[in-house]
Amino acid sequence: MDNLGETADGAQQNERDAGTRAAPWWRGAVVYQVYLRSFADGDGDGVGDIAGLRARLPYLRDLGADAIWLNPWYPSPMVDGGYDVSDYRDIAPVFGTLAAADALIGEAHEQGLRVLIDLVPNHTSDRHPWFQAALAAGPGSPERERYWFRRGRGEAGELPPNNWESAFGGPAWTRVTEPDGRPGEWYLHLYAPEQPDLNWGNGEVRAEFESILRFWFDRGIDGIRIDVAHGLDKDPALPDLVSGPGGALVPAGEEHPYRDRPGVLEIYRSWRKVADAYPGDRVFVAEAWVDGPQRVARYVGPGCLHTAFNFPFLTCPWSPRGFREVIGESLAALHAVGAPATWVLSNHDCVRHVSRYGRARARMDGPHFHPESPFDLQLGTRRARAAALLMLALPGGAYLYQGEELGLWEVEDLPEEVLQDPRWEWSGHTDRGRDGCRVPLPWSGSAPPFGFGPDGSRPWLPQPPEWRDYTAEAQARDPGSMLELYRAALRMRRSHPALGDGTLRWLGSPADVLVFARDPGFCCAVNFSAGPVPLPAHEQVLLASGPLDGDRLPGDTAAWLRI
Ligand code: NOJ
């Protein structure tokens, strides 16, 4: 690890001293995702905040994380959990103040934790001053050029300009009322209507976001997660999609009119220059939902971004063949461009992996989970424990989603009246959305709010009473708990020379078992079958996700071995 809070002079001095630079910290970092509104509530209003996070930094340090990534914390009407930003240079009052954010960054650095924030460049809130100005300025104005305003189709412009759909359901276009009171143009929103898409062909948009990057880098931020990184560039002809297999809308030609277009890479190459002008190692991580590791690798080529989330890994079902393929393809594609792999099992948009793996049958379609059999908590927990050891042994960095270290599951039975995800409304109440993975964390005690906020406070989503046995406090006393497994794994990962960035070698194994070695002297074995298999040859068992059966590795269990 290089120094936190290094000065420009210090960084140059280090480079001179070392002759060559040590590998940057982010190539093997474990980044803990803090979904701020659900992490810890300092002021008792039911919503997590910066004060709550500051008080819990020692927990994250002791867990063994290298960095934290915070979901958007900017002023926002909170239509989409803060991914509708109305001011990119301030903090939402519900989370704290800019001074509190500065204090958090400083305190995290003192605890040895780097800080990544979330940038939302694809769209703003409809309350953002730019969008308000665009509404007021009317058709043909430079203010409207920053977004995608178009005349509608049909005789009186009464139909949307094309057939694109919002990711949350419904058309991707909303018609505005012009300043003179008449129905007027339509604007594009690939998410909720309150999230108008920015036009990245516009020079002012580009300049503004480079300035926002500098604003946060100047405050000491170590990295940035880029929301909807695959979506910024759009075909200005805005062509209709056509009906594809199963009725899904697909592009008529080879290029998609708004997903994963080559133009996005040019934007990120200029962002990279902004980051590289700062001392120390600042990192970008792309939220790019694209088709497979080869496409992911395009975002992290030389001169482009540093890292990208590995969603092919997250969406892989619990299967040895599936994991072997996605791990192999990810390492090959990313190492070919000199980038480290990253691994992730859960985040704030996806069903928690205890609930995904805890099913005999299930499938994923992008981020959408389709259970096909009932949930078995024991099965899900056993597999999640094995998955943690698998992920943390793989070469590269890893992202942990808050609560996975506690073994939390998706809360699938939240009452309808508390659901807040816009997907619930926009799907016509057919998709319950993502609130089930965003339920506030249980820290201590035996009844809600489980230490999430002061006694008597009411978390913004109700916590299941069963979480009394899953609090951080309860697990800290239990050597067999998920929390203690994560702590032990992260401790070992820090000290073992084979772990973190690097490469792996697959070793021969039965079909339902994955075994790989990392040099020097480390081996990870994961048994995906239901029955035990012999452990590979080893000198010592370093860590196991569950009790071993003599010299055998039980089903759905992983072990770290010294070889
Ligand atoms: C991806 C974010 O992770 C998700 O929570 C959000 O709804 C969309 N992008 C839109 O910003």
Q: What is the DSSP string of 275-333?
A: HHTSSS--EEEE----SHHHHHHGGGSTTS-SEE--HHHHT--S-HHHHHHHHHHHHHH
Closest ligand 1 atom number to CA of residue 434: 5
**Domain spanning 504-562: which superfamily?**
Golgi alpha-mannosidase II (2.60.40.1180)
Among residues 227, 233, 405, 556, which one is catalytic? 227
Closest ligand 1 atom number to CA of residue 123: 11
234: alpha, beta or left, given left = phi > 0 and alpha = psi -120 to 50?
Answer: beta
Q: Is the pLDDT of residue 1 over 50?
A: no
Annotation says 45 is catalytic: no
pLDDT on residue 366: 87
pLDDT band for position 21 (cuts 50, 70, 90):
low
pLDDT on residue 246: 86
pLDDT on residue 451: 98
| Ligand 1 contacts CB of residue 69 (under 6 A) | no
The two tokens of residue 308 are 């990208």
Chain mean pLDDT for the chain: 95
Tell me how far the alpha carbon of residue 4 lies from the centroid of ligand 1, in angstroms: 29
Tell me how far the alpha carbon of residue 36 lies from the centroid of ligand 1, in angstroms: 14
Give tens-digit pLDDT for 331-352. 999 999 999 999 999 999 999 9
For a pLDDT cut of 90, what percent of the chain falls above it? Answer: 94
Tell the residue nearest (CA) to atom 11 of ligand 1. 83
Among residues 287, 404, 405, 421, which one is catalytic? 287
Rounded Cα distance between 442 and 465, Å, is 10
| Ligand 1 contacts CB of residue 228 (under 6 A) | yes
Tell the residue nearest (CA) to atom 6 of ligand 1. 83
Tell the residue nearest (CA) to atom 5 of ligand 1. 349
Closest ligand 1 atom number to CA of residue 168: 7
Give tens-digit pLDDT for 143-180. 999 999 999 999 999 999 999 999 999 999 999 999 99
pLDDT on residue 20: 58
Tell me how far the alpha carbon of residue 227 lies from the centroid of ligand 1, in angstroms: 6
Q: Which of 361-365, 406-410, 434-438 has the lowest mean pLDDT?
A: 361-365
In terms of Cα–Cα distance, which of 36, 30, 69, 29 is closest to 225?
A: 69
In terms of Cα–Cα distance, which of 30, 1, 15, 16 is closest to 391?
A: 30
Tell me how far the alpha carbon of residue 349 lies from the centroid of ligand 1, in angstroms: 7
Question: Considering the entire predicted model, what is its pTM?
Answer: 0.96
Q: Is the pLDDT of residue 300 over 80?
A: yes
| Ligand 1 contacts CB of residue 84 (under 6 A) | no
Q: Is the pLDDT of residue 2 over 50?
A: no
pLDDT on residue 213: 98
Per DSSP bridges, beta strands 173-177 and 249-250 are unpaired
pLDDT on residue 477: 83
Q: Which of 82-91, 307-316, 363-372, 525-534 has the lowest mean pLDDT?
A: 363-372
What distances in angstroms separate CA 61 from CA 107, 242, 278, 314, 391, one per listed residue? Answer: 11, 50, 25, 25, 20
For a pLDDT cut of 70, what percent of the chain falls above it? Answer: 96
Closest ligand 1 atom number to CA of residue 84: 11
Q: Amino acid identity, residue 216?
A: W
Q: What is the mean pLDDT of the segment spanning 191-195?
A: 98
pLDDT band for position 301 (cuts 50, 70, 90):
confident
pLDDT on residue 22: 80
Annotation says 165 is catalytic: no
The two tokens of residue 319 are 């299967």
Q: What is the mean pLDDT of the segment spanning 208-231?
A: 98
Tell me how far the alpha carbon of residue 311 lies from the centroid of ligand 1, in angstroms: 14
Mutate to test the pocket of ligand 1, among 86, 191, 438 (most ligand atoms within 8 A of CB): 191
Give tens-digit pLDDT for 439-458. 999 999 999 999 999 999 99
Tell the residue nearest (CA) to atom 2 of ligand 1. 227
Q: Quick one: which H or E segment has residue 116?
A: strand 114-119
What are the DSSP calls for 471-495, one per residue? SHHHHHT-TTSHHHHHHHHHHHHHH
Q: So where are the chain's domains?
A: 4-124+202-482, 129-188, 504-562
Tell the residue nearest (CA) to atom 4 of ligand 1. 349
| One CATH from 3.30.1120.10, 3.30.420.40, 3.90.400.10, 3.20.110.20 for 129-188 | 3.90.400.10
Rounded Cα distance between 136 and 434, Å, is 34
Tell the residue nearest (CA) to atom 3 of ligand 1. 349
Q: Is the pLDDT of residue 18 over 70?
A: no
Tell me how far the alpha carbon of residue 446 lies from the centroid of ligand 1, in angstroms: 33
pLDDT on residue 4: 52
Closest ligand 1 atom number to CA of residue 347: 3
Q: What is the mean pLDDT of the segment spanning 486-499?
A: 98
**Record: fold of 4-124+202-482:** TIM Barrel (3.20.20)
| Ligand 1 contacts CB of residue 191 (under 6 A) | yes
Mutate to test the pocket of ligand 1, among 73, 83, 425 (most ligand atoms within 8 A of CB): 83
pLDDT on residue 6: 41
Tell me how far the alpha carbon of residue 198 lies from the centroid of ligand 1, in angstroms: 15
Mutate to test the pocket of ligand 1, among 349, 368, 423, 435 (most ligand atoms within 8 A of CB): 349
Q: Amino acid identity, residue 179?
A: P
Tell me how far the alpha carbon of residue 461 lies from the centroid of ligand 1, in angstroms: 19
179 C-beta neighbours (distance < 10 Å), count? 12
Q: What is the mean pLDDT of the segment spanning 81-99?
A: 98
| Ligand 1 contacts CB of residue 80 (under 6 A) | yes
Tell me how far the alpha carbon of residue 476 lies from the centroid of ligand 1, in angstroms: 33
Q: Is the pLDDT of residue 12 over 80?
A: no
